[in-house]
Structure 1
Amino acid sequence: MTDVPGAARRRELTLALVAERGFVRVADLASTFGVTPVTARADLDALERGGAIRRVHGGAVPMNGAAGTGDRPEREPTFEQALEASVRPKQAIGEAAAALVRSGQSVILDVGTTTLQIARALRRRTDLDDVTIFTNGLSIALELEPEIPRFTVVVTGGTLRPKQHSLVHPLAGSMFDEIHVDLAFIGGNGVDAAHGVTNANLPEAQVKTLMLRAAARVVIVADASKLGEVHLGRIAPVDAFNLLITDAAAPEVLIEEFEALGLPVLVAGAEPGSPADPPQPTT
């Protein structure tokens, strides 16, 4: 009879499996280690308390998308630091998001490096004309400036946050009380089934909530590293959004959680016809 590994060794191996596979089931762990499902759940609970994993229905996924390290940045990264991270996934998300825009529409582009990729993808859409874009991101406004007058670019105003080159309260939200746009693309530092869409900075989270209310259709854009994360400022529950666009590294179990709550998920770069690549939404 094979010896059952001790709790410490079992949890070490469990953590390695979560990091390797991206998702492990309680039943599989019980079978692998020759323990009861109750013991397997207890191991996962202990690892979650230590910040190494995140429990989901039926099993666990890595915390923070970082191979089970559980490390959370102590400080909000600058815009430039974020711009260097996950470049290709963000480009794929930007292309998928820009494909939803039609000539003659009005659009909100939230501040952020993923939404900057949307702006760049919109510039490459030579078929687009007469698009009005509202933004609270100075980097996004400057990116779009060469497309004037093909695009009309409206900057919200407000108080400048140097770290993200974003405009926040006071005054940043006043414009959103006066407009109603066709489509809003909103970013966030965390997208979690239970805790909703959240952001590390409270003033930015407040502006994002106003953007959501000012749009007929709202899309949350977040690369896989943001999924399952929870931060200080809550923007809205996931079912307040019409679509999540993420990248191919998104764990299927998290996608299933979002879809079960009524949030469709479009995986940028997924193979056509795959379960995570639903039909193109209409605008």
Structure 2
Amino acid sequence: MGEAYGRPITQDGLTLSQNERMEQVLRMLESRDSVQVAELAEVFSVSEVTVRSDLSELARRGKVARVRGGVRALQRGQSELGFDLRLRLESDRKQAIARAAAAMVGEGEAVALDSSTTAYYLAHELRSKRELVVVTNGLLIAAALADAPGITVVVTGGTLRVSAMSLVGDLGADVLSTTRINKGFLGARGLSLERGLMDLNPDEVRLKQRMADACESVIGIFDSTKWHRSALLSFVPADRVDAIVTDSAAPADEVAAWRAQGVEVVVAEVAGRGRSPVRARDLHRMPPPERGVA
């Protein structure tokens, strides 16, 4: 799928569907204040009438706000999209990364997963592991592993952030300060050798810092679109990152630069659009507890 602005974005030589175009618009708004109708018409190689229809539908769903000549994110600046939507963005890349990251986890280990969507895909890949302890602040990640017979799930506790379905705050930090974990798998919104791994939300960043401090090894898990981005706050410096798992579209020069600093970079091959994106498990439809269990 084409990434450059001003160049048609297509899938396998075909014009994107309306849903695919809308997902692309929302992804663009992760790092921009607004997008314009004329620009989108050129990027998608469709008419401005078609673009306006797409943007009207996004506004109707409460995903964007209409402005003169285009739309803007509901929050000014870098906005955070809902978990379900982010889960569908770059799903092939995230699933490939999750499979490669799961191969780095040995049975009997303790691992930490943050509340990122790539960590959610990783949780599904870990379900077959045995004698594994998973520490997470992501409620949907905990739910994805809840009925895996060989896995013990530890939830950090804290205050609920609905947009990420994550728990943040001092309670979770206190739990992590007394825990020793073999490997931590952390998503990021951006990265650089100067600032390390970065994210947007201050509460989430503080929790990730504590999670990284509790881990013997820190492993970044993020798709190739994050390599060209920056974000508000750093949560792990570059010299604390032991490995990165990304996909084959990551920029070769930046991959080489991180490797030159002694960071292992695992590049996962993306196997086309075969598997459907995993849907986030609905916590309201979790099975009832066993009899006699409070």
Normalising by the smaller structure, the TM-score range is 0.5 to 0.7
Find the counterpart in structure 2 of residue 204 from structure 1.
204
Of the three residues 85, 88, 94, the one matched with 1:84 is 88
Determine the C-alpha separation between the residues in 1 that align with 2:164 and 2:240: 25
CA positional deviation for 1:262: 2.4
Determine the C-alpha separation between the residues in 2 that align with 1:107 and 1:83: 21
Find the counterpart in structure 2 of residue 254 from structure 1.
254
Larger Rg: 1
Determine the C-alpha separation between the residues in 2 that align with 1:83 and 1:270: 16
CA positional deviation for 1:261: 2.5
CA positional deviation for 1:183: 1.0
Letter in 2 for 1:111: S
CA positional deviation for 1:97: 0.6
1:193 and 1:228 in contact (8 A); partners too? no
Letter in 2 for 1:152: T
Secondary structure of the 2:153 match is strand
Of the three residues 89, 92, 97, the one matched with 1:93 is 97
Find the counterpart in structure 1 of residue 134 from structure 2.
133
1:189 and 1:229 in contact (8 A); partners too? yes
CA positional deviation for 1:74: 3.5
CA positional deviation for 1:16: 7.6
Find the counterpart in structure 2 of residue 108 from structure 1.
112
2:137 and 2:168 in contact (8 A); partners too? yes
Q: Percent identity?
A: 33
1:228 and 1:254 in contact (8 A); partners too? no
CA positional deviation for 1:259: 1.6
Query: In the TM superposition, what whole-angstrom CA distance separates every residue of 1:36-75 from its partner, at most 9, and x where no partner exists?
Result: xxxxxxxxxxxxxxx9xxxxxxxxxxxxxx9xxxx99731
Correspondence list, 1:51-200, <5 A: 74-123=78-127, 125=128, 128-148=129-149, 150-200=150-200
Query: In the TM superposition, what whole-angstrom CA distance separates every residue of 1:76-131 from its partner, at most 9, and x where no partner exists?
Result: 111111101000000000001111111111111111110001001111x3xx2111
2:134 and 2:154 in contact (8 A); partners too? yes
CA positional deviation for 1:233: 1.6
Secondary structure of the 2:130 match is coil
Determine the C-alpha separation between the residues in 2 that align with 1:167 and 1:218: 20
List, as ranges, runs of 4+ consecutive aligned residues in structure 1 with deviation greater than 6 Å: none
RMSD, aligned α-carbons: 2.5
Secondary structure of the 1:90 match is helix
Aligned length: 205
Unpaired runs of at least 5, structure 1? 1-14, 20-50, 52-65, 272-283
Determine the C-alpha separation between the residues in 2 that align with 1:166 and 1:270: 28
Determine the C-alpha separation between the residues in 2 that align with 1:164 and 1:248: 27
CA positional deviation for 1:270: 7.5
Find the counterpart in structure 1 of residue 15 from structure 2.
none
Determine the C-alpha separation between the residues in 2 that align with 1:81 and 1:238: 29
2:92 and 2:270 in contact (8 A); partners too? no
1:191 and 1:222 in contact (8 A); partners too? no
Determine the C-alpha separation between the residues in 2 that align with 1:260 and 1:99: 23
Determine the C-alpha separation between the residues in 2 that align with 1:80 and 1:192: 27
CA positional deviation for 1:194: 2.2
CA positional deviation for 1:170: 2.9
Larger mean CA deviation between 217-226 and 260-269 belongs to 260-269
Secondary structure of the 1:172 match is helix
Secondary structure of the 1:257 match is helix
Determine the C-alpha separation between the residues in 2 that align with 1:247 and 1:185: 15
Secondary structure of the 2:79 match is coil
| TM-score, reference length from structure 2 | 0.65
